[in-house]
Structure 1
Amino acid sequence: MLKAIIMLILGLSVLAAGFITLKRELSIEAFSISSADEAKSEMKNIFNDQRWFYLSGIALFMQFVFQGFHLTFEYFFYAFLISSGIQSLFYLFNKKELDYKVCGVIIVSFLVIYL
């Protein structure tokens, strides 16, 4: 029961962060990019968030090791939801510390594994 509540909170935080980001993007006036170099740098800034990949890897590793060294689709689902949820919670609170995010992923992964 507690696992479902944790997953619900993480899922709702991902939705809330998505709506806030969409609202911010729609409220900003459109800007024009004058050169190809500016367009490349803008795309790099948008997609340059490797923290989600690292957090997903940590959560998936914990699922793999502590649940018996075999992978199922459920482990991938939990890992992606945990990493996305923790990252969106920190986004909602406007914090960017990676070490706190990693600790959050580890703690939530243990809660999901052992509850």
Structure 2
Amino acid sequence: MVKYCLWILAEIAIIAVDIPKVIGIAFGLKILFNIPVWVGVLLTDLSTLLLLGLQRYGVRKLEMLIAVLVFIMAGCFFREMSYVKPPASGVVKGMFVPKLNGQGATGDAIALLGAIFMP
């Protein structure tokens, strides 16, 4: 009986952690692409089901998809960097001596920490 209660509590904890992630992704899609939040939730759920479905074809296929997505993100990052053209000395200095400049920089830093550590 105890193991079933612990199992139910674990499932509730997993749901409680996943709900903010799904809603956060939905709001991110709203901000980026002006997609309604409910559509963003459905897209997030669909992508989760897609990844779970890929497990049926083996771990290597799933790893390949994740590697492709990481390379796409890296390509977008480097494309943005080539568009913005920040000074290389400032980028290198910022990697080792971080500081907050500008109005709202503290809020941006807190949001970045939340985005990195929440998942």
Tell me which interval the TM-score lies in, with the shorter structure as reference length.
0.3 to 0.5
Relative to total residues, which structure has the larger helix share, 1 or 2? 2
TM-score (norm 2): 0.32
TM-score (norm 1): 0.33
Question: Which protein is bigger by CA-based radius of gyration?
Answer: 2
Higher relative contact order (CA 8 A, sep 6+): 1
